[in-house]
A and B are shown apart, each in its own frame.
Chain A
C-alpha cells in the first residue's frame, strides 16, 4: 500500500507524517510520533485503553484509520496533561486511588472527561455505564467511579 503524506492536528500542533492508508491512529501516535501516553492493550476495540478525542468525541484509536482524521482536531492524554494543574478527573483518580498499575488510566481519563461534559449530573449508575467500555483489571472500578463522581461534583461548582 502506498504511504501518504498526512497532516494531523494533534494537541493544537500540526504534524506532517508519512502514514499507511491502513494504519490506525494509535499506531501513528505511538510508533511514528512518540505519543506513548495513549496505551494499547488489545488493539481490537475491546478495552478502551486507546481512547482519543477526535473533534471532541472519544474514539478508539486502535479502530480509527489515521487518514480519516485529516482536518480534524485530535486530543491525546498528553493534550489534557500539558497544563500544570491536573484536570479534576485526573486529580481524583490519584487522590481516591482510582488507579493501580495505571495502564488503563489514560483511556479512563479520555473517556471520563467528555462523559462529564455531556452528563454533568450523572449519578453512579450513569457513570458506570459511561465507563463500561474501559476495562480495568486492578481496581474493581469502585475507586474509578468514586473519582469520576467527585470530579463531576467539582466541575459543577
Chain B
C-alpha cells in the first residue's frame, strides 16, 4: 500500500482538540436557550402517590415543567425490551430515576424550581439483590408487569451443544470455579449532554453526546410521535463512550420534548453524579463455571451458570445475557458446550453494554480455570492454550464462522517477549506472570432493528475544489473513525490526506450508519468507504481515459497525480478533477456494507454472529505486597490480532486504553450500593487508574489479514480488554499462590485469601 493505510496517522481532529477548539455538545450555546434540570427519585421502588408541580411552574425564570405523563411512550435500544419511559410514570424503579423536568432561563432558576416540586411516594419492596429477583413475589412487588411466573427475571438465555454436563460428570480433569464480579461503569470524561432545537419549519434538531445517532433518531420519533423525516440528530465532538452512550436516553427524549413544547432551544448537561446514576455499565455478575480436559490438555467440555444483575431496565440486557455465554466459543475449540444466563431486574441503576460487552467477566473465569487445569496437569499454561486454539477457516460449535485467526502468533509473541519460558513459575515470592487470551466480534452481523438495508452506506463527493468529502453516519467517539475515512479515501485515490474531509454523524445529511457499538465501524464503514472512494477513482479514470484515449485501467492514481506508467499522461490531481467533472459537475459515489449470511438455524443462533473475530494474548507481570494486600501491575505484553492495522497509532491507543480499563476493573473499580443507593458516584470513591498506575506496556499488533475486512482489517477497540483481567488474576497466583475469584481484587480480599492459605 503506497498511501496512508498502515502508517501511523495522527487524528485529523487532533489539532482542534489540543487547542480546545473542538465543540462538544455542552460547548454550544444558542440565543434564548433554556437549561434543563431534573427531579430524581429518592426511592428505589415506589408508587408515585402524588406529584405537584404547580409552584415549580410559577417559579421565576421557569418556562416549562414536564412529568412522565407528558411523554409516556416506552422506548429502549432493543425492540424486544422497550421497557423505559422518559420520566417515571406512576412508579419509580430506582433511586435517581427522573420524575419531573424543569426548563428555566438559567440553570439556577431551574435548580431552585425543582426543589419546589412536591412528590409523595408509597414504598414497594425494593429488590437490590439479584438472587431475590429470581424468587416469586407478589404481583404489586414485580418491578415490571411483563416478567413471567411472578418473578423479576428479565431474560433467561440458554444454549447447549452435545451434552457438556455428561462429559463433566465423568471427566478426570475438571475444575469448577465460583466467581463474583462487581459492576463497573464507563467513566468517560465528558458528561452526557443534549441540546434540542425546534426549527422554524417544524422540524427537530437534536445535538447529543451519543454513539448511536440513528437509534436515537428512531426512538425520538417513537416517543415524540414525530415523523422520521422531521428529525435530525447530530453528534458533535464526543468525550468518550465505551458503550455508555450507546442507548437512547431519557434525558434526550425530555430535552427534545421541552424544545418542541417551548419552541426554544433547550440544553441539558449532567453532573458527574448524574453520569454515575445513569450508568448502563457492566453487570454485576455471579458465575459458576466448570471446564474439563483430557490428560493431554485438550478441553473436552465447558458449562456455566450465570446471574447478571441488570438493574431497573432492559437496555442491551438481552444481548448481554447471550454474550456472557456465546462469546466463550473462541478462541478455544470446545465441542461440548453449554451456558445459562439469567438477567435479573433489580431496583438499581440499569446496566447495559460496556467495552468488551458481556464477555469480559466470563472470559476471566475461563482463563483462570484453564490456569488451574494446567496446574493439575503439570503443564505450562501457554502450552495448554496452544493445544486448544480454533484453526483458521473453521466453525465453532455454535456455528460461528472463523476466518482469519492470529491467536497462535499472539501467544508466541508475548511468550517470547516476556521471556515466559525462563521466568514463569520461577520469580521470587511476591512477583508473578500470568497469561490469558481473548476473542471478540468484529461487528455484529445483525442490525439491532431488523431491516432490509445495508448496515452502513458511505457517500464520497468530488467537487470543483478537488476536495473529497466523505459523508458517513459513523460516530467518531475518540476511536479514530473520522481519520480512518480520510485515510481510506486518500489511499484509494492516491491523494494527500489533506484533500479529504469528512461530514459525519448527522442523520439529515449523512447516510445511515448504525452506530459505534459492537466494534463494527472499521470493518463495516471501512469497507463501504473503500468502495465509495474507489468508485470515484473508476469514474475519474473512465472520463480521463476517454479524453486522453487510453484505457482507464492504465491510469495510476498516486502522489496526488494521475499518470500512465510511461508518464505519457501525467496530470495533476486538479487537472484530473476538471476532466472528470466536465459536462457533469460535482458527483457522489456510494459504497455500502452488508454482512454475509451467517450462522445456524437454532433459536439464539444470531447472538454473537460476526463477519470476523479478533483474537489476542496478553501476559501480565504483577507484584503483590503480602503485608498490605496491594497488587501492582508492573508490565503488560499485549498482542492483538486486528487483521491489519489501518492506523497503528489508533490501534495501539485502543489496546493501551483497554489495558487501563481492564486494570481498573481488576483492581479498584466497583459500583457500590447500599439499599439501592450508590455510595460512590464520584471519582474520589470510584477509583479509575491514574497516570501513576500505568504499567509499562509492550504492544504487538498481529496482522492476520482478514479476507473480508477492508485491507484485511478487523476490530481493535474492545477485544483487547478481555485478556487483561485474567492475565492479572493468573499473575497474582504465580506471585503468591492465591486464586482471586472476586473482582476487584482489593487489598482486603487479597489479604483474606492469603490468610486462608496460611
Interface residues of A (CB under 8 A from B): 30-31, 34, 36-44, 46-47, 49, 76-78, 80-81, 86, 90, 93-97, 99-106, 109, 127-129, 131-145
Tell which of B20, B24, B653, B694 touches A138, judged by Cβ atoms closer than 8 Å. Answer: B653
Distance (Å) between the CB of A105 and the closest chain B CB? Answer: 5
Q: Are A97 and B10 in contact (CB under 8 A)?
A: yes
Tell which of B189, B660, B692, B697 touches A129, judged by Cβ atoms closer than 8 Å. Answer: B692
Q: Are B697 and A138 in contact (CB under 8 A)?
A: no
Q: Are B690 and A101 in contact (CB under 8 A)?
A: no
- In the complex formed, the residue of A with least CB distance to B660 is A140
- In the complex formed, the residue of B with least CB distance to A102 is B17
Q: Are A141 and B242 in contact (CB under 8 A)?
A: no
Q: Are B20 and A101 in contact (CB under 8 A)?
A: no
> Mind listing 27 A-B residue pairs with CB under 8 Å?
A38-B20, A39-B190, A40-B191, A41-B190, A41-B272, A43-B272, A46-B272, A81-B19, A81-B20, A86-B19, A90-B18, A100-B240, A100-B479, A100-B657, A101-B189, A101-B477, A102-B237, A103-B240, A105-B17, A128-B692, A128-B694, A135-B690, A137-B189, A138-B653, A140-B660, A143-B652, A145-B691
Contacts of A46 in B (CB 8 A): 272, 682-684
Tell which of B10, B22, B271 touches A94, judged by Cβ atoms closer than 8 Å. Answer: B10
Q: Which of B186, B237, B480, B694 has the most CB of A within 10 A?
A: B694
Q: Could you tell me the distance between the alpha carbons of A100 and B653 in the complex, rounded to whole angstroms?
A: 8
Tell which of B237, B652, B683 touches A135, judged by Cβ atoms closer than 8 Å. Answer: B683
Q: Could you tell me the distance between the alpha carbons of A144 and B682 in the complex, rounded to whole angstroms?
A: 24
Tell which of A30, A38, A128, A141 touches B660, judged by Cβ atoms closer than 8 Å. Answer: A141
Q: Could you tell me the distance between the alpha carbons of A78 and B271 in the complex, rounded to whole angstroms?
A: 24
Also in contact, A34 and B29, with CB within 8 A (given A101-B189, A106-B20): yes
Contacts of A139 in B (CB 8 A): 653, 656-657, 660
Also in contact, A105 and B18, with CB within 8 A (given A39-B190, A46-B683): yes
- In the complex formed, the residue of A with least CB distance to B479 is A100
Q: Could you tell me the distance between the alpha carbons of A135 and B686 in the complex, rounded to whole angstroms?
A: 12
Q: Could you tell me the distance between the alpha carbons of A134 and B593 in the complex, rounded to whole angstroms?
A: 40
B649 at the A interface (CB under 8 A): yes
Distance (Å) between the CB of A122 and the closest chain B CB? Answer: 12
Q: Are B688 and A137 in contact (CB under 8 A)?
A: yes
B296 at the A interface (CB under 8 A): no
Tell which of B107, B186, B189, B682 touches A39, judged by Cβ atoms closer than 8 Å. Answer: B189
B758 at the A interface (CB under 8 A): no
Tell which of B189, B480, B691 touches A103, judged by Cβ atoms closer than 8 Å. Answer: B189
B188 at the A interface (CB under 8 A): yes
Interface residues of B (CB under 8 A from A): 8, 10-11, 13-15, 17-24, 26-27, 29, 107, 186-191, 237-242, 271-272, 477-480, 649-650, 652-653, 656-661, 682-684, 688, 690-692, 694, 697
Q: Could you tell me the distance between the alpha carbons of A137 and B688 in the complex, rounded to whole angstroms?
A: 8
Q: Are B683 and A42 in contact (CB under 8 A)?
A: yes
Q: Are A142 and B17 in contact (CB under 8 A)?
A: no
Q: How many A-B residue pairs lie within 8 Å, measured between CB atoms?
A: 176
Tell which of B20, B22, B29, B683 touches A47, judged by Cβ atoms closer than 8 Å. Answer: B683
Distance (Å) between the CB of B396 and the closest chain A CB? Answer: 31
Also in contact, A93 and B190, with CB within 8 A (given A137-B660, A140-B659): no
Q: Are B692 and A138 in contact (CB under 8 A)?
A: no
Q: Are B657 and A140 in contact (CB under 8 A)?
A: yes
Contacts of B480 in A (CB 8 A): 100
Also in contact, A144 and B15, with CB within 8 A (given A78-B20, A102-B22): no
Contacts of A39 in B (CB 8 A): 20, 24, 189-190, 239
- In the complex formed, the residue of A with least CB distance to B16 is A102
Q: Are A102 and B653 in contact (CB under 8 A)?
A: no
Also in contact, A93 and B18, with CB within 8 A (given A137-B187, A137-B188): yes
Distance (Å) between the CB of B666 and the closest chain A CB? Answer: 14
Q: Could you tell me the distance between the alpha carbons of A71 and B683 in the complex, rounded to whole angstroms?
A: 32
Distance (Å) between the CB of B490 and the closest chain A CB? Answer: 18
Q: Which of A39, A81, A102, A134 has the most CB of B within 10 A?
A: A102
Main SS at interface, chain B: loop
Contacts of B20 in A (CB 8 A): 36-39, 76-78, 81, 105-106, 109
Contacts of B649 in A (CB 8 A): 96-97
Q: Are A138 and B478 in contact (CB under 8 A)?
A: yes
Q: Could you tell me the distance between the alpha carbons of A102 and B272 in the complex, rounded to whole angstroms?
A: 18
Also in contact, A143 and B653, with CB within 8 A (given A102-B22, A103-B239, A138-B478): yes
Contacts of B240 in A (CB 8 A): 100-101, 103, 137-138
- In the complex formed, the residue of A with least CB distance to B14 is A94
Contacts of A78 in B (CB 8 A): 19-20
Known: A80-B19, A100-B11, A137-B188. 14 other contacts (CB 8 A): A36-B27, A44-B683, A47-B189, A77-B19, A86-B15, A99-B11, A101-B240, A103-B188, A128-B692, A136-B189, A140-B659, A140-B694, A143-B653, A144-B691
Q: Could you tell me the distance between the alpha carbons of A129 and B690 in the complex, rounded to whole angstroms?
A: 9
Q: Are B690 and A102 in contact (CB under 8 A)?
A: no
Distance (Å) between the CB of B150 and the closest chain A CB? Answer: 41
Q: Could you tell me the distance between the alpha carbons of A47 and B683 in the complex, rounded to whole angstroms?
A: 7
Q: Could you tell me the distance between the alpha carbons of A44 and B692 in the complex, rounded to whole angstroms?
A: 21
Tell which of A86, A137, A145 touches B694, judged by Cβ atoms closer than 8 Å. Answer: A145
Also in contact, A132 and B189, with CB within 8 A (given A101-B239, A105-B18): no
Q: Could you tell me the distance between the alpha carbons of A43 and B653 in the complex, rounded to whole angstroms?
A: 27
Contacts of B656 in A (CB 8 A): 139-143
Contacts of A135 in B (CB 8 A): 189, 683, 688, 690
Distance (Å) between the CB of A117 and the closest chain B CB? Answer: 18
**Minimum-distance CB pairs A-B, first 8:** A37-B20, A102-B17, A103-B239, A101-B478, A140-B656, A77-B20, A140-B660, A100-B478
Distance (Å) between the CB of B690 and the closest chain A CB? Answer: 5
Q: Are A94 and B15 in contact (CB under 8 A)?
A: yes
Q: Are B190 and A103 in contact (CB under 8 A)?
A: yes
Q: Are A44 and B272 in contact (CB under 8 A)?
A: yes
Contacts of A104 in B (CB 8 A): 189
Distance (Å) between the CB of A95 and the closest chain B CB? Answer: 5
Contacts of A105 in B (CB 8 A): 17-18, 20
Distance (Å) between the CB of A47 and the closest chain B CB? Answer: 6
Distance (Å) between the CB of A82 and the closest chain B CB? Answer: 9
Also in contact, A132 and B479, with CB within 8 A (given A103-B239, A143-B653): no
Q: Which of A97, A128, A139 has the most CB of B within 10 A?
A: A97
Q: Are A102 and B697 in contact (CB under 8 A)?
A: no
- In the complex formed, the residue of B with least CB distance to A90 is B18
Q: Are A132 and B691 in contact (CB under 8 A)?
A: yes
Q: Could you tell me the distance between the alpha carbons of A47 and B107 in the complex, rounded to whole angstroms?
A: 23
Also in contact, A43 and B271, with CB within 8 A (given A100-B653, A134-B691): yes
Distance (Å) between the CB of A79 and the closest chain B CB? Answer: 10
Distance (Å) between the CB of B715 and the closest chain A CB? Answer: 16
Tell which of B189, B477, B697 touches A142, judged by Cβ atoms closer than 8 Å. Answer: B697
Q: Which of A41, A80, A145 has the most CB of B within 10 A?
A: A41
Contacts of B653 in A (CB 8 A): 97, 100, 138-140, 143
Contacts of A31 in B (CB 8 A): 107
Q: Are A95 and B692 in contact (CB under 8 A)?
A: no
Contacts of B29 in A (CB 8 A): 34
Q: Could you tell me the distance between the alpha carbons of A96 and B8 in the complex, rounded to whole angstroms?
A: 9
